[in-house]
Amino acid sequence: MIIVTTFEVPGRSISTNLGLVRGSAVRSRHIGRDILAMMKQIVGGEVEEYTKLMAEVREQSLDRMVAEAQARGADAIVGMRFASTEVARGAAEFLVYGTAVKLDPE
């Protein structure tokens, strides 16, 4: 699956627009990790616990979007965008969306 943030795939032409595809997920770390993250916020530096949390939820959202595109028979997703919010303290939501398309044969 080709995923691009541009609205076209270089060197390929789009034959069919299959519509919006999206994937979202909300994840949290366990309370032990929250305590360690709280301590790191006191001393400074990267809060790895939350870096990992954001990375986990980003990958899961991305996979969900790709699964939806595959189910529609897409060859690529164009105009892909990420958005994130905090739905609860210590829980991150990622939303990934784009347009699923079919490409002309090379």
Partner 1 sequence: MTAPETEPTRDELLAMAYVDGELDEAARVEFDARLRAEPALLREVSELRQFGVIARQVAPPEPMDYEWERLDKEVLYGGSQRLGLFLIALAAAGFALLGVITIWASSLEPVPKFLVGALLLGLSLVFLATLRGRLRTLPHDPYTEVRR
Distance of closest approach, residue 17 Cβ to partner 1, in angstroms: 19
**CB–CB of 30/53 below 8 Å?**
no
Cβ closer to partner 1: 18 or 57?
A: 57
- For residue 104, give the amino acid letter: D
Task: Round to whole Å and give the CA distance between 44 and 106.
Answer: 51
For binding to partner 1 (CB under 8 A), which residues are involved? 1, 27, 32, 35-36, 48, 51-52, 55-57, 59-60, 63, 66-67, 70-71
Q: Minimum Å distance from CB 10 to partner 1? A: 21
CA angle 79, 3, 80 (to 5 degrees): 25
Distance of closest approach, residue 4 Cβ to partner 1, in angstroms: 16
